[in-house]
Amino acid sequence: MVTFKDIQKNPYILEFIEQTGRKLKSIDYTDHGIGHANLVSARARTLAQEIGLGDREQELAAIAGFSHDLGNFLSRSLHNYFGAFIFQNIFGKDFPPRELALLMEAIVSHDKDEMEITDWLSAVTVLADKSDVRRTRVTVTDMNVIKRDIHNRVNFAVKQSRLGINKKSKIITLSLKVDTNFVPIMEYFEIFTERMVYCRKAAEFLGYKFGLVINNFKLL
């Protein structure tokens, strides 16, 4: 049975993720390399655990979170599809059909709301990925370049980010501390509204509500 440790040390997966990081850094894009993969993987595992899923489901969540962006080095606009087929090409014979289908669907579904969320793994992966907004995702060091691009500006302004799960109230909350001297809150909504709506859909599939708190103010 394939485990997260097997995925984490696979030379092809590692190279594809590292190349993705290099490729997107070359166009001043936010981190989509190993740092992002590790964070999303850990966050997906924690979500799966907190909502009461079993050990194997937690492993699958970690695998999907780690692998979701590996197709970016081939195409930014179609990276989710490339990533799913790359994963299938490497591990197609190593997973039971149901697990492989869930993993491929999670990799495809994490990026765009083209189809309805129909499984727990896609929902967990969406929440883990779309909640990753933080200063350390900015790969650019030139402050003028950071200020010119809204994605870099908003991520740079986020000094603290936490995804919390309240099982009693059935709420999954993204809490951010944003430097409003660097960007106004409206800039966050300008680029992340679609992502937050997708998080809400993912949370609802899991039987939870989704909340957004910025600087201790509840906005969603």
Domains and CATH numbers, the chain: 4-218 (1.10.3210)
The two tokens of residue 8 are 């984490």
Q: Is the four-CA dihedral 44, 45, 50, 52 of positive or negative sign? A: positive
Kindly report the pTM of this predicted structure.
0.96
Mean pLDDT confidence for 195-210: 96
Residue 220: band (very low, low, confident or very high) from pLDDT cuts 50, 70, 90:
confident
pLDDT value of residue 115: 74
Residue 168: band (very low, low, confident or very high) from pLDDT cuts 50, 70, 90:
very high
Sequence letter at residue 111: D
Helix-then-strand count for the chain, H and E: 10, 4
**With 80 as the cut, is the pLDDT of residue 112 above it?**
no
Average pLDDT, the chain: 95
Query: Of 204, 205, 200, which Cα lies nearest the Cα of 220?
Result: 200
Total length of the chain: 220
The two tokens of residue 183 are 């960007």
Separation of alpha carbons 196 and 198, rounded Å:
5
pLDDT by residue (tens digit) across 139-148? 999 999 999 9
Residue 114: band (very low, low, confident or very high) from pLDDT cuts 50, 70, 90:
confident
Mean pLDDT confidence for 58-65: 98
The two tokens of residue 77 are 């606009």
SS3 178: strand
**With 90 as the cut, is the pLDDT of residue 85 above it?**
yes
SS3 91: helix
Q: CB count, 10 Å around CB of 156?
A: 22
pLDDT by residue (tens digit) across 3-32? 999 999 999 999 999 999 999 999 999 999
Separation of alpha carbons 133 and 6, rounded Å:
27
Backbone angles phi, psi at 176, to 5 degrees: -125, 145
